[in-house]
Amino acid sequence: MRRARAPRWALVREAARAGGVAASFAALVACAVGPDFQAPDAPVVPRYTTTPLPPTTASAGGPGGEAQTLVEGGEVPAEWWTVFASPALDDLVQRALQDSPTLLRAQSKLARAREDLEAGKGVRLPQIDARVSATRVDIDPESFGVDRLPVDTPFTLYDVSAQVSYTLDLFGRNRRELEGLAAVVDYQRFEAEAARLMLAGNVVTAAIREASLRRQIDHTRAVIALEERLLDIALRRERLGAIPRLEVAAQRAEAAETRAVLPDLEQRLAETRHRLAVYLGQVPGAAEVSEFRLEDLRLPVELPLSVPSELARHRPDIRAAEALLHEASARVGVATADLYPRITLSATGGSLSTVFSSLLGPGTWFTLLGGTLMQPIFRGGTLRAEKRAAVATFEQAGAAYREVLLAGFQDVADVLVALDADAQRLHERGLAAEAAGTILDVTSQRYESGGVSHLELLEAQRRHLRARIEETRALADRYADSAALFQALGGGWVEAGESAPAYNPAQGP
């Protein structure tokens, strides 16, 4: 009586189970060589600037002239651009975040990095491959010294088999590889957040620039109209012999200089709107972009200011540099593990037959068990050179991280100083414009009573309009630098963005 045999693929399943047990055992006893990454400590400094800044800025008259207060430890809102209270601006930023090809490219890079990590996780499990082959065999019986063989030739040899293999991660090479891939995912995620922050900031800044240019164009056109009237008066007075030709030439030159300013302003306005269209992912000639004016924006009177020790955790560009440092650290571990032995276990089970229909019949199956140990002996110094190169790359990434960190602190310091200077500048420009307005009012009253000429009235009007142009520029700078502070602090992405813990080699991704 024939003894019952196990199913034909039982050995393969047992080999796979054995590989899984080996993998679990290796994970328990193995150690990951190379440095365990630790996030760099944040600088401990009391403030961003060399000297303390006043907590409240100077104020000026009119909309946008309110005093701004720095709220230390305040949180930056996720949608920080809404502090300007402009529905049109909010809509523009949201459209840009949705349709910008720049963000799509960054998100695609992130998706690829995540898939690379998923693909890399396969090294933690046994690898199973199936194979089916057919080989035509023809043997000459005379080469064996016989007239014929036990089988008819030629014949076809069919082979159906499965192979299970597993490389023990005794020194943590695979785990360091996964750690590096996870760090790349973090890097691409932080890069996507940085691109999002930069895009939102660019849209807000461009909208503010457009609003400023529109007001400057309005004032400049009014100045041109006044200077044309002044030139007409000068020409009439010259014909009457009241003034010399030199004064007429001077007035004509000043009018020409003012007219030359207008095309430059209009060009800059058109370029700004073209830039906004591109931010929206649209062709400039077919884009639908709202018009912006300064009176439609509200200046935020409270500005959050995170403490210096938290800046490194709030800015996505600094976190991206940290992720690159983490990846470089993992690469040192990979290069170190390459110096040590690798053990691979394998098992193959299958069936051989000269007739395809009998492949699954009794007596046709076979099994193979094996193991391989590979220890590098001589590679011409390549492996140790690769480790030294990985260490150098890690040091380079550390220096790059510090550069980005210092640049981030500089950004905040520069913006804080700029905000204080903007407030003072707007205050003085407002006083100058107010004084010019007072002069215009007095001159108008005197003109009505016949105390001054029409020429003096037009001159007072021109000085007032020029003062308003300078005030407009100062006001726009204040709006723009307020937006720049939100960007420099990280733009609130910590609250809005996706958070992910760092990869731990001991726990797996």
| Beta pairing, strands 155-168 & 365-374 | unpaired
pLDDT at 361: 60
Name residue 2's amino acid.
R
Q: How confident is the model at residue 15 (pLDDT cuts 50, 70, 90)?
A: very low
Q: CB-hemisphere CA count at 13 Å for 437?
A: 9
Q: In whole angstroms, what is the distance from residue 463 CA to residue 483 CA?
A: 31
Q: In whole angstroms, what is the distance from residue 136 CA to residue 161 CA?
A: 18
Per mean pLDDT, which range of 86-100, 125-139, 212-226 is the poorest? 125-139
DSSP 501: P
Q: What are the tokens at 414?
A: 């520069």
Residue environment code for 157-185, b if the CB has 16+ CB neighbours within 10 A, otherwise e: ebebbbbbbbbbbbbbbbbbbbbbbbbbb
Residue 273, pLDDT > 60, answer yes
Contact 359, 353 (CB under 8 A): yes
Q: Which helix (DSSP H) or strand (DSSP E) does residue 133 occupy?
A: strand 127-137
Q: CB-hemisphere CA count at 13 Å for 384?
A: 5
DSSP 144: G
Per mean pLDDT, which range of 15-19, 61-65, 314-318, 338-342 is the poorest? 15-19
Contact 224, 260 (CB under 8 A): no
Q: In whole angstroms, what is the distance from residue 28 CA to residue 15 CA?
A: 20
CATH fold label, 10-43+50-139+149-496 = Outer membrane efflux proteins (OEP) (1.20.1600)
pLDDT 10s digits, 294-352: 999 999 999 999 999 899 999 999 999 999 999 999 999 999 999 999 898 988 888 87
Contact 215, 297 (CB under 8 A): no
pLDDT 10s digits, 130-159: 888 888 877 777 776 777 777 677 778 788
| Beta pairing, strands 155-168 & 342-353 | antiparallel
What percentage of the chain carries pLDDT values higher than 90? 56
Q: What is the mean pLDDT of the chain?
A: 86
pLDDT at 430: 94
pLDDT at 26: 45
Q: How confident is the model at residue 211 (pLDDT cuts 50, 70, 90)?
A: very high
Q: Beta-carbon neighbour count of residue 433 at 10 Å? A: 24
Q: Beta-carbon neighbour count of residue 116 at 10 Å? A: 14
Per mean pLDDT, which range of 211-220, 418-427, 456-465 is the poorest? 456-465
Beta bridge partner(s), residue 302 = 69
Mean predicted confidence (pLDDT) in 242-267: 89
Q: Beta-carbon neighbour count of residue 406 at 10 Å? A: 12
With 0.85 as the threshold, say if the pTM is over it.
no
pLDDT at 233: 85
Name residue 459's amino acid.
E
3-state secondary structure 292-353: CCHHHCCCCCEEEECCHHHHHHHCHHHHHHHHHHHHHHHHHHHHHHCCCCEEEEEEEEEEEE
Question: Mapping DSSP to helix (H, G, I), strand (E, B) and coil, where does residue 72 land?
Answer: strand
Angle between helices 87-99 and 173-239 (to 10 degrees): 130
pLDDT at 245: 86
55: preceding bond cis by omega (within 30 degrees): no
Q: In whole angstroms, what is the distance from residue 339 CA to residue 173 CA?
A: 10
The more confidently predicted of residues 277 and 238 is 277
